[in-house]
Every structure is written in C-alpha cells, then in structure tokens.
A and B are shown apart, each in its own frame.
Chain A
Amino acid sequence: MVMDSGTRPQVQRKAVVLLSGGLDSLLAARMMLDQGIHVEGLNFFTGFCVEGHTHAVRKDRQRRAVRNSALHAAEQLGIRLHIIDVIDAYKDVVLNPRHGYGAHLNPCIDCKAFMVGKAREWMEAHGFDFIVTGEVLGQRPKSQRRDTFPIIARESGAFDRLLRPLSARLLAPTLPEREGWVDRERLLNLSGRNRKPQIGMAQAGGLAYAQPAGGCCFLTDPNYARKLRDLWSTRGERRYDFDDIMLLKIGRHIRPRPHFKLIIGREEGENHFLEGYRHRFVHLFAADANGPLALVQGEAHGEDLTLAAALTARFCQQRNAGSVRMTIVRPGGFAEQRIVTPWPVDQLPREWYL
C-alpha cells in the first residue's frame, strides 16, 4: 500500500515483465519501477534460447563470465525472476505456427503470442494487474509491426492489459494508462531499429545488459534451422524432443548416409557435454590418442560403423597416421575396437556437413 499526497491509500499495482535479458525489456521494467509499480520478471525457456547453453559448453566462450542474462537483469533491477520451463508447450508453436515462419524456422508472431499468453495466465494466477514487454514498434520485421502488435494482444488474451512502455505513446492507450496506474506522459515513443536511445538510457541509468549477436533464439540461425529440417526429413515426421534440440546446438554434424549422422565434439567442453548422452547412443573415440567423442544418431551397423570410425578418426590427434584404433561402444556398454584409416580431408564431401 502506498499513500498519495492526500494520504489516501492507493493499491500498488503489479506488473509482470517478460524479461529476456536484453536491453529493451530491462529498460521497460526499469520504467515501471520508476513509476512505483511492483514488478516481477518472467522468462520462458523454450529449449531454443541462445542463453547460457553454448556459453556454458564451449570453452572458447568461457572467458566471459557464464551467467544467465535474464537473471543478471533481474539482479540489477532487484526484482524476482521466475524462469519457467515451457519446452513441451512450445512444440506446437514451432511445429504448427498459424502465422508461419520468419526468415528461417522462427515463428515469431506465434512465439510472442504464446509468451504473452503464458504471462497472462501467470498474471491471473498471481493476482497481477498487467503485462509489460520491451517490444519496440518496427524493430523486428515480422513480430513488431503496427499490424502485428494487436494480433499478439488478442491471441494471447492479454488485450489492453499488455503495455509496451518503449513505444506506448505511438500506440492506443492501454488499461494501465487509462486507469492512471502508469503515467502515459512518462512512457516513450520509440520506433524502428535504431537502438541509440536505448543504449543512451542504459548508460545514463548505469545498466549493464546482454548484447545477443544473432537474436534471442536458435530458430533464427540458418545453420541451426538446416539441422532441424534435416532431423525432420530423415525421421520422416516433424517432431522433436528436448535432447534432439540440445544436440543440434553442439558439435559438428556430419551425415554420410541418409540413415545415420555423426555428432562430433569440437573441443573439450563439447566432448564433456556429449558424454552425458553416451548411455543412449552408439559412441566412438580414439583408443590411443586425444580426440573427440562422436555420437551416432540413427541406425548404423557393420560397414557404417567403420565409416563412422574413419570419419571420427579424421578429427583426432593421429589424423595423419596410416591407421588409428577406434573404440566403438553401444548403449548397453558393449565395446569393440576397429582399426581404420582416418578419412582423408579432401574426400569429405561438403554436403555431408549439416
């Protein structure tokens, strides 16, 4: 409860902010706190988020402190953050987007409507008053347009309880503005891709933020989208589980035959990560030399395994030797060894690389 100047008690309004860890949602949350709103953050983990995973796995990126950007944002704001696993519910968004995909496999409009919809459910369950996002009009080609903003508000069921403080003054007043819970005059009128105003605000407010290079999720990454399409086409159906989409983020993916592919660790961190999957996949490694761990995904028997061993040997320390002894282990633990000639670099067809 807060008092206004006439000491009339006012209910402190509560907003739930979709906190990605990026600059825009950080500023949107800050603006709400500055207006005396109680703010808590929500962050949905779809399995495709760039956040954390790759940083955590690949050693060469570990120079920067490993930290979850949304958590870091919440820490700076001093607000609670609820990180929620939506991996299963999100599948329908990826597999059957009503509004189609963006440049790659990114279903941005459906994704936004899904997330705001989940935030609406959370808001209702926790007695909050409205939802805040860091969306900026015209910043993204598909999901952040004047004609798609209302779709997101409608399909999420949030309607006019969805406030976008960074562009609010370019949009029709929402319930929190009309009711005076927030002062519309103190909201912004930003539009377009120019991020200078936001960067200026962050500097002025002493806020640190993550600068994701390729967008907030792997579905916008052409290489990742290609691997996901390959998974669906070789499987004969469009479906995935969590391990599938995690493994697409890790290692070299080489498909020498339609019925199997190899996932080969590129460095120690990835090998370590792939080790966690040894019980589920046939896996290979050099018996007497340093080298990667490789998983076989699909059905590989007989000569296929010799081919897999030769390809994996090509990435081990003894790659220039005439022969390398490779260990092949099946999921039950049965191990065998094969002596193979490392696959020559110049005979590795480009199209085998996914």
Chain B
Amino acid sequence: MPHLDARHLLCPMPVIRVSERVRALAPGEVLTVACTDRGALYDIPVWCRLEGHEVLESRVEPTGEVSIVIRVRP
C-alpha cells in the first residue's frame, strides 16, 4: 500500500506532500500518511473533503505520531 512519510514536516508541508503524492495515484488507491505535526489531523481531512478524497481512518498512535488513511476519489 502506498505510504507517505511526512514526519518532522510542519504545516502546510504535510498537505503539500499529500497533494503531490495523491496526484500520482490512480482513482480508488489508498494512501497511508504518517505525520508528527498534530495540525495534520485537521488539515489533511479538510483538504481531502474539498478535493473529494475519502479519509478512511485518522488516529494518533501511542508514540504521538498521526496516521491518516486516504482513499483517492474515484
């Protein structure tokens, strides 16, 4: 499954990297993103909503890392 390491990047870099990566994926593909900036928990789902991508899961790991799973819009 495609994975994007956006750890140690601060807002808005995680959103920029996600948008660049999603552009290269096929419709319906699923991307997992790891971030350390908690702002990503809000920003990435908002960006996905505006773009029509689906957020399948978003959670904070025990390590404090944020993990977000996105399905690219069909």
| B interface list, Cβ under 8 A from A | 7-8, 10-13, 15-16, 19, 36-39, 42-43, 46-47, 49-51
Contact A55 B16 (CB under 8 A): no
Provide the residues of chain A in CB contact with B16, threshold 8 Å.
45, 83-85
Which A residue's beta carbon lies closest to that of B7? A276
How far, in angstroms, from A79 to B50 measured CA to CA in the complex?
7
Contact A83 B12 (CB under 8 A): yes
How close is B28's CB to chain A, nearest CB, in angstroms?
Answer: 20
Which DSSP category, helix, strand, loop or mixed, fits chain B's interface?
Answer: helix
Taking each of B7, B43, B49, which has the highest tally of chain A beta carbons within 10 Å of its own beta carbon?
B43
Asked whether any CB of chain B lies closer than 8 Å to the CB of A75, the reply is: yes
19 contacts between A and B (CB under 8 A): A45-B13, A51-B11, A52-B11, A56-B10, A56-B11, A56-B38, A65-B42, A66-B38, A67-B43, A68-B12, A68-B43, A71-B43, A71-B46, A71-B50, A72-B46, A75-B46, A79-B50, A83-B16, A273-B8
Provide the residues of chain B in CB contact with A43, threshold 8 Å.
12
Contact B39 A56 (CB under 8 A): yes
How far, in angstroms, from A96 to B16 measured CA to CA in the complex?
26
| A interface list, Cβ under 8 A from B | 43, 45, 49, 51-53, 55-57, 62, 65-68, 70-72, 74-75, 78-85, 246, 272-273, 276
Q: Which of A49, A55, A81, A273 contacts B47 (CB under 8 A)?
A: A81
Provide the residues of chain B in CB contact with A85, threshold 8 Å.
13, 16
Which DSSP category, helix, strand, loop or mixed, fits chain A's interface?
Answer: mixed
Contact B10 A68 (CB under 8 A): no
Taking each of B7, B11, B13, B51, which has the highest tally of chain A beta carbons within 10 Å of its own beta carbon?
B11
How far, in angstroms, from A75 to B47 measured CA to CA in the complex?
8
How far, in angstroms, from A151 to B19 measured CA to CA in the complex?
32
